Amino acid sequence: MEKTMAPCLLLSLSLLVCLLSSNSSAELQRFHHSPKSDGSLSLIVVGDWGRKGEFNQSQIAAQMGETGENLDIDFVISAGDNFYEDGLTGVDDKAFAESFTNVYTAKSLQKQWYSVLGNHDYRGDVLAQLSPVLQEIDPRWLCLRSFILNTEIADFFFVDTSPFVLKYWNEPKGDQYDWREVAPRDQYIDNLLQDLDWALKDSRAPWKFVIGHHTIRSVSEHGDTEELVEMLLPILKENGVDLYINGHDHCLEHISSRNSSIQYLTSGGGSKAWRGAYTPNQDSLQFFYDGQGFMSMQLTSAMVEIEFYDVFGHVLHQLNLQKEVRSYFKMIGRG
């Protein structure tokens, strides 16, 4: 336990420094996570999960634990909507333990979690989720608005997507969003996009992955997020991003761009799912599962292997990418 939790404890001080220096400029903080001695990394991605174990969250967590052990994962990525329905009420909210600490109990999941905020998180006390106090409660937890994770073989760019969505500002429909340290919206987004563009251009990693809560491309209930298509996607294409990874739609998806190398991956099946919605978009759908599950990634400097799993741990879809051969797809079982 001490060995696996060491990276978590080392990040506590870094997180405190980040928060003390944070402001509406959305400056991107950097963290480092070394690959294994053989130069590889493995991880799990899950989104839209925080329901106190209900809606099969606990069953999915158990399968994540088994997969994490089989792959000897290095860390976990959360794609947002970490606590339903309205985020946390404060750093002492019992929902943190009930939806996170007490659910993801498998030994293999006692690694660092790198998390972004979702729109449901913005309906609560956002500063609580970002607070170092939560790391004192559970050292695995690391959540910032936007930040960069350098791993030598890949750079992971975490982007705060909720402020982009205009309806959250203009038509909240009775919901209250915590825009402290974000408003004014236009300045926040402009600074974030400038910082992201610079960081992507500065990256020398073989792989560039961008993680945000909201979809860019999706055939499920929420569909494409037009603000991200308009403002974020051009930057990703210009800078040769390999993967855009998100939650928000409660399903599993793989969509290929028709005019760039980007693969759009949705892993939003961490708990409540089965929306029953399907609307095609202009890009190429490779896989869609309107149900619960999660995603794993194994990578080296030359290859990336991605697998999508259902609540029973069955592999539903594989995606293999190489720098020389960029697209090889294999469907397994349902899809």
125 marked ligand binding residue = no
Residue 120, annotated ligand binder? no
Confirm or deny that 254 is annotated as ligand binding. no
In which residue are the tokens 């329901």 written?
51
305 three-class SS: strand
- Collect all residues with Cβ–Cβ distance below 8 Å to 257 and sequence separation of at least 6: 217, 237, 263, 264, 283, 284
Residue 323: φ, ψ to 5°? -70, -30
Residue 81 labeled ligand binder: yes
Tell me if 32 is assigned to a ligand binding site: no
* Residue 195 in marked binding region: no
Q: Which amino acid is at 132?
A: P
Catalytic annotation on 214?
Answer: no
Q: DSSP string of 218-285?
A: -SSSS---HHHHHHTHHHHHHTT--EEEE-SSSSEEEEE-SSSS-EEEEE--SSS---------SSEE
**Quick one: DSSP state of residue 94?**
T
- 244 a known binding residue? no
Residue 2 neighbours by CB under 8 Å, 6+ apart: none
Give CA–CA dist 138/135, Å, rounded.
Answer: 5
Catalytic, out of 120, 222, 254, 317: 222
Which residues contribute to the annotated binding site for Fe cation?
A: 48, 81, 84, 119, 213, 248, 250
* Residues with active-site annotation: 222
Which residues contribute to the annotated binding site?
A: 48, 81, 84, 119, 213, 248, 250
